[in-house]
Amino acid sequence: MAIDPRLVSALHLQALRHAALPAEERAAHAAFQTSTLEALLDGAYDGDLTIGELRRHGDLGLGTFDALDGEMVVLDGEVWRARADGTVVRAADDARTPFAVVTPFAADATVAIEAAMGQEELLAQAVRAMPARPSVADAALAIRFDGRLEAVHARSVPPQPRPYPPLAEAAATQRTFELGPAEGSLVGFAFPAWAGGVELPGAHLHAITADRARGGHVLHARVGPGVLRVAAVTDLHLELPPGVELPAAGLDADRAATLDRLEND
């Protein structure tokens, strides 16, 4: 495999095709993912995994849906779809996903957040709370915040027409909106930059309001007070749809530039 060796050793990467997947697998500290960030950036918006199948591998996470039709929030085993206008509907079990990451969430650390803070500070708090004290650059974490969403600048995307455009073009159709002030949750992951190509580097968080009315992919957030829960991710089980291969080490400059534009709206 021409991928970063840290993905194999530090994150215990295991890649499988759909037919080889165990029907149900819920190992503590294991994240399960379908497809790769690189494939998504390249316009692979049809998945071979259903939401019902995804739910058997974890109860917290995020992703998107076939045709890039909205942002996925997985919380307490329920799967929600935040549409382009930020409104949320429950996702059907027979819907499909071209990219999603879930984990059977069990917190290693719980932190009381006393006052509102930005997402960088939230991530720093998450890292500091871990018994193993990873550096921010190397941390692989599952993250859940519940409490006050003081201000959340979020985005979602409308369904894309075929032939699917690459994400750099699809992003032109994305819509941004504000969530909050409201009660709600942030869910997601932090992955090291060296997992780029497979994962979005850094913190990748999706938001949903407590009334499950609104949500989206977090661009900027200021949250608190509330409760932050963090779990280490030590294993990454990757399901590769047909035609999707493990990416070469890291992201190339073009894809990295696309990502930068997408995340710094």
Rounded to a whole number of angstroms, the minimum distance from the CB of residue 215 to Zn ion is 11
Is the Cβ of residue 125 or residue 156 nearer to Zn ion in the bound state? 156
Amino acid (one-letter) located at 184 = G
Rounded to a whole number of angstroms, the minimum distance from the CB of residue 99 to Zn ion is 9
Is the Cβ of residue 8 or residue 196 nearer to Zn ion in the bound state? 196
**Which residues, at least 6 apart from 163, have a Cβ–Cβ distance to it below 8 Å?**
43
Is the Cβ of residue 240 or residue 262 nearer to Zn ion in the bound state? 262
Comparing every residue's Cβ against Zn ion, the nearest one is: 217
Rounded to a whole number of angstroms, the minimum distance from the CB of residue 217 to Zn ion is 4
Strands (DSSP E) contained in the chain are 13-16, 30-34, 49-50, 60-64, 71-75, 78-82, 88-90, 96-97, 99-103, 109-113, 117-118, 141-156, 175-179, 182-191, 202-209, 215-232, 235-239
Is the Cβ of residue 114 or residue 260 nearer to Zn ion in the bound state? 260
**Which residues, at least 6 apart from 67, have a Cβ–Cβ distance to it below 8 Å?**
45, 46, 159, 160, 164
Instruction: Report how far apart, in Å, the C-alpha atoms of 160 and of each of 10, 14, 171 are.
Output: 36, 30, 10
Contact 62, 187 (CB under 8 A): yes
Closest CA to 228 of 94, 86, 108, 138: 108
Near Zn ion in 24-53, by CB under 5 A: none
How far apart, in whole angstroms, are the C-alpha atoms of residue 118 and residue 186? 12
How far apart, in whole angstroms, are the C-alpha atoms of residue 241 and residue 117? 38
Rounded to a whole number of angstroms, the minimum distance from the CB of residue 196 to Zn ion is 15
Rounded to a whole number of angstroms, the minimum distance from the CB of residue 66 to Zn ion is 15
The answer to whether 83 contacts Zn ion (rule: CB under 5 A) is no
Number of other CB atoms surrounding residue 52 within 10 Å: 14
Is the Cβ of residue 40 or residue 127 nearer to Zn ion in the bound state? 40
By rule CB under 5 A, what string of x and - marks binding of each residue 202-241 to Zn ion? ---------------x------------------------
Angle at CA of residue 252, ends 255 and 217, nearest 5°:
35
Is the Cβ of residue 62 or residue 116 nearer to Zn ion in the bound state? 62
Helix (H, G, I), strand (E, B), or coil: what is residue 176?
A: strand
Contact 241, 34 (CB under 8 A): yes
Rounded to a whole number of angstroms, the minimum distance from the CB of residue 74 to Zn ion is 12
Q: Total number of residues binding Zn ion (CB under 5 A)?
A: 1
Rounded to a whole number of angstroms, the minimum distance from the CB of residue 72 to Zn ion is 8
Is the Cβ of residue 109 or residue 166 nearer to Zn ion in the bound state? 166
Residues that bind Zn ion (CB under 5 A): 217
